Amino acid sequence: MLPRASRIALDVCARRLSARDVLAMAWAQIDARNGRLLALRSVDHESALAAAAAIDARVAKGETLPLAGVPVVIKDNIAQAGRVNDAGRKAGCDEPSAHDAALLARLTHAGAVIVGRANMDELAYGVTGTNVHTGQVRNPWNDAKHPGGSSAGSAVAVAAGMASLAVGTDTAGSVRIPAALCGVVGLRPTPGLVPCDGVAPLASSFDVPGPLAANVADASLMLAVMAQRPELATAATDEAVSLASVRALALAGSFATEPASAVLDATSRAVEVLARLGITVRDRSISELAEAPRASGPVIGAEAAFAWKRQLEQYPGGFGETVAGLLRKGASISAVRYLQARADCERVARAVLAAFDDADLLVLPTTATTASDAENPGTQLVFLALTVPLSIAGAPAISVPAGFVDGLPIGVQLVARPGCDALLLRVAHSLQQATGGYQG
């Protein structure tokens, strides 16, 4: 398995390890596991090798790079110069991108080596890693199960050691869901912290790019680079932040679907750990959370139809039947229905944000259950019911590994008020350390 990202960067900058050596490790894992798991849609050996050689040359000249030689996977909806931004569609249904997405340019400037593009639910319109064009992404803990989505390949690549870090996008939970189901860390930052320039949209009201990593400290380092906020690089490990002053609310009994008892038990154990860390935790129910999936559906549907209208007209054969049907259905949503849904979302957002009047954090499960069968995933509601309310609220949220149920990972979700990403990372890091949830 690959070392953690921060260790790779330190070793490459100290010339104890070369970026080319690290790339060879990543390729070995990709060769061994991608054929079955289908995490990566493409691997460009030539450009990755050239990037690694360039990083080694920069380090030899004395440069210190925060992500020197770190293998990174990007989701298939991130613009990459000279490549078509397929976003999970059939290959070649658009013109090649003229420029890298802003977040990608920041990653490569910081020394990251892009090893491949991750498979995803088509257009990010799903939560199970299912795609008629590229195949079903598989869960690395049990390949008969799905890994969650839509950032399916991104989460699997990190969990399976194909990359130390990955970029995902989160609309209704598409970073946090696969992170939970694959046993890694997934962060949805405060909207606007990481630029969406060059990221193919699903629903612009809710889309947020975010990092996936084996541990919170690495996610913090990646966020600092993508956001161009260097102070966030050490936010997770900043012991100057006292946890004794942090107040948290454990949310329960107010979701659109009831979490499985084993998931609730794992969340209760996480709450107990937070209390032992000195955090004051009280129970709270927010009834409006149950309305979130219904409220967000028409907004996502209409905005997705608007975003992809031209491509659907020009390349109708480039979309799967299910996704094309969803886009056509979204196009039929009336202005009145859309505005009513926006009003419903605003009510949910107000209720979530009001909880921060007397708390710093919210705690709840990431998903209501573990991963279901890849061939018969069932309803999507059990995977997004607990994540979409926080998307609506525009709150930063992170999924941290919370153990296993019947051999499959589950996650606990921590949520902070908008703009408090540093505090969120600090608490999540402490929780992961205290529970032994590190990988790598």
Digit-coded pLDDT (tens) for 48-79? 999 999 999 999 999 999 999 999 999 999 99
Q: Residues 174, 205, 220, 391: which is the catalytic one?
A: 174
Q: With a cut of 90, say whether residue 254 has pLDDT above it.
A: no
Digit-coded pLDDT (tens) for 12-41? 999 999 999 999 999 999 999 999 999 999
Mean pLDDT computed over 323-332: 98
Least Cα distance to 285 among 354, 189, 342 occurs for: 354
pLDDT score at 437: 62
Q: With a cut of 60, say whether residue 314 has pLDDT above it.
A: yes
Distances (CA, A) of 433 to 161, 242, 246: 20, 16, 17
Mean pLDDT computed over 200-207: 98
Mean pLDDT computed over 157-171: 98
CA distance 87 to 281: 41
Q: Indicate the pLDDT class of residue 440, thresholds 50, 70 and 90.
A: very low
Q: Where are the domains of the chain?
A: 5-234
Calculate the CA dihedral of residues 125, 131, 137, 142 and round it to 10 degrees: 90
pLDDT score at 439: 42
pLDDT score at 1: 74
Phi, psi of 277 (to 5 degrees): -75, -5
Hey, what amino acid is at 40? L
Q: Residues 18, 97, 150, 220: which is the catalytic one?
A: 150
Q: Indicate the pLDDT class of residue 252, thresholds 50, 70 and 90.
A: confident
Least Cα distance to 295 among 206, 208, 379, 357 occurs for: 206
Hey, what amino acid is at 51? A
Mean pLDDT computed over 97-115: 98
Least Cα distance to 400 among 255, 224, 267 occurs for: 267
Mean pLDDT computed over 203-231: 98
Q: Is the dihedral of CA 210, 338, 366, 40 positive or negative?
A: negative
Digit-coded pLDDT (tens) for 260-289? 999 999 999 999 999 999 999 999 999 999
Mean pLDDT computed over 84-89: 96
Instruction: Provide the percentage of residues in the chain whose pLDDT is more than 70.
Output: 99
Distances (CA, A) of 380 to 95, 149, 172, 333, 422: 32, 10, 11, 21, 31
Please give the model's pTM, rounded to 2 decimal places: 0.97
pLDDT score at 253: 81
Do residues 288 and 390 touch, judged by C-beta distance below 8 A?
no
* Residue 174 annotated in active site: yes
pLDDT score at 436: 80
Instruction: Provide the percentage of residues in the chain whose pLDDT is more than 90.
Output: 96
Question: What does the longest C-alpha to C-alpha distance in the chain come to?
Answer: 62
CATH of domain 5-234: 3.90.1300.10
- Average pLDDT value for the chain: 96
pLDDT score at 438: 46
pLDDT score at 57: 98
**DSSP conformational letter for 271:** H
pLDDT score at 92: 84
Q: With a cut of 70, say whether residue 251 has pLDDT above it.
A: yes
* Residue 254 annotated in active site: no
Q: Residues 75, 154, 391, 399: which is the catalytic one?
A: 75
Do residues 246 and 213 touch, judged by C-beta distance below 8 A?
no
Q: Indicate the pLDDT class of residue 366, thresholds 50, 70 and 90.
A: very high
* Residue 18 annotated in active site: no
Do residues 88 and 134 touch, judged by C-beta distance below 8 A?
yes
Cis peptide before 150 (omega within 30 of 0): yes
| Beta strand segments in 183-223, E | 185-188, 208-213
Hey, what amino acid is at 389? P
Digit-coded pLDDT (tens) for 374-415? 999 999 999 999 999 999 999 999 999 999 999 999 999 999
